[in-house]
Amino acid sequence: MIRRRDVVAGLAGTLAGTLAAGPLVLGSRPARAAAWPARPISVVVPYPPGGSTDITARIVGERLSIALGQPLVMDNRPGAGGNLGLEIVARAAADGHTLGVATTAHAINMTLFRKLNYDTLKSFAPVALLTENPLVLVVPAQSAPRSVADLIAAAKARPGALNYASSGIGQSTHLAAELFASMAGIKLTHIPYRGSAPAITDVIAGRCDLMFDTTQSVLAHVEGGRVRALGITAAERLPLARDIPTIAEAALPGYVAIAWNGLVAPKGTPPEIVARLNAETVRAMQEPAVAAKFAGLGATSRPLSPEAFGAFMAAEIAKWGAVVKQSGTTLD
């Protein structure tokens, strides 16, 4: 069903030695005699090494370092739901030598947090969309529900009795479940964890009834029979897992919840630098080898201009803001 083991194993092997050595410096070609880039470019990744956002940034960064003639230094700054890293980018000099990776969480955080030290739309110059990744609705392998409709029926029969795990309050794994519950007219109990790994571990053990998790994190468990996949949150089925229906086709027409990430620069970065970064990023994402790596992880990419990516982020802020308000969740 899922042909991803070789892809993930190859990525894990490539990253293992590098991550153990600390921050990754990608590329070693000498700088070209141009005004920009004049030195290595720092890419702030607001999550720990080894996660899906970090893997994405490193794959793309390797190609950009070649195209731009300067190393891209991955600077992992996890903390505060992804806010710490983006605050660093917002305060950085707008000279094209500092970039950041924004994610779905940074659209969610605009409503979730009572106070932020940045504004996802006003503090940054949008550069390019990197990847979009659907989530997978999974239940323990021994669970009674065998379809999305079964799960909804079970939740309606016992309001609030079923619990769901997430990788943390305000993460896409949390809000995807809230959107699902809202559209299905059911009540679920949220159990947040510090990361996807401990959350899915408790789903596998049967201590949690369900979870929405990224394809990178969960498809190996589906393949291994440790959890059962009921549905995909994308608008269409994944080529990687054709036998898993979309939640929209299975039970909830119109339901879509995508985890995404993209490059941003500090507000005021010269338009010509943003345009060059966008062109090189789009070119990198369309390289067959790069596209194949992401396809093996269940991720896709779309070539968006900086303006289109900015509009995309604004739409995501509005969409998830409504879900956050309905859930009643807020953080300081």
- Report the CATH number that the domain containing residue 323 is assigned in CATH: 3.40.190.150
- Give the CATH number, domain containing residue 178: 3.40.190.10
Query: How much of the chain exceeds pLDDT 90, in percent?
Result: 73
Residue 33 pLDDT more than 50?
Answer: no
What's the pLDDT at 245?
A: 97
What's the pLDDT at 190?
A: 96
- Are residue 180 and residue 101 in the same domain, yes or no? no
Convert the pLDDT of each residue in 93-132 to its tens digit: 999 999 999 999 999 999 999 999 999 999 999 999 999 9
What's the pLDDT at 144?
A: 96
Question: Is 332 within a domain?
Answer: no
CA geometry: angle 117, 123, 127, nearest 5 deg:
135
What's the pLDDT at 171?
A: 86
Choose one of 218, 250, 282: the last residue of a domain.
250
| C-alpha span between 199 and 213 (Å, rounded) | 9
Question: Is 88 within a domain?
Answer: yes
- Are residue 139 and residue 288 in the same domain, yes or no? no
Q: Across residues 133-155, what is the average pLDDT?
A: 97
- Are residue 276 and residue 239 in the same domain, yes or no? no
Work out the mean pLDDT of the chain and round it to a whole number: 89
- Are residue 49 and residue 65 in the same domain, yes or no? yes
Question: Is 75 within a domain?
Answer: yes
- Are residue 123 and residue 175 in the same domain, yes or no? no
- Are residue 127 and residue 71 in the same domain, yes or no? yes
Q: Across residues 196-219, what is the average pLDDT?
A: 92
What's the pLDDT at 310?
A: 98
**How many folded domains does the chain comprise?**
2
What's the pLDDT at 21?
A: 39
Q: Across residues 68-75, what is the average pLDDT?
A: 97
- Are residue 270 and residue 201 in the same domain, yes or no? no
Domain that holds residue 89: 5-132+260-327
What band does 328 get if pLDDT is binned at 50, 70 and 90?
A: confident
What's the pLDDT at 4?
A: 44
- Are residue 121 and residue 155 in the same domain, yes or no? no
- Are residue 74 and residue 171 in the same domain, yes or no? no
Convert the pLDDT of each residue in 275-305 to its tens digit: 999 999 999 999 999 999 998 888 889 999 9
What's the pLDDT at 153?
A: 98
Question: Is 93 within a domain?
Answer: yes
Question: Is 255 within a domain?
Answer: no
Convert the pLDDT of each residue in 1-32 to its tens digit: 544 444 434 444 434 443 443 444 444 443 33
- Are residue 36 and residue 128 in the same domain, yes or no? yes
- Are residue 23 and residue 45 in the same domain, yes or no? yes
What band does 240 get if pLDDT is binned at 50, 70 and 90?
A: confident
Choose one of 188, 218, 250: the last residue of a domain.
250
138 versus 20: the higher-pLDDT residue is 138
Strands 210-214 and 124-140 come out as: antiparallel
Question: Is 194 within a domain?
Answer: yes
- Residue 135's nearest CA partner among 241, 234, 250, 236 is 234
- Are residue 206 and residue 57 in the same domain, yes or no? no
Residue written as token pair 């943003």: 274
Question: Is 190 within a domain?
Answer: yes
Q: Across residues 60-85, what is the average pLDDT?
A: 94
CA distances from 94 to 208, 221, 307 (A): 45, 42, 18
Choose one of 194, 225, 250: the last residue of a domain.
250
Question: Is 137 within a domain?
Answer: yes
| CB-count burial class (<10 Å; 0-12, 13-18, 19+) for 226 | middle
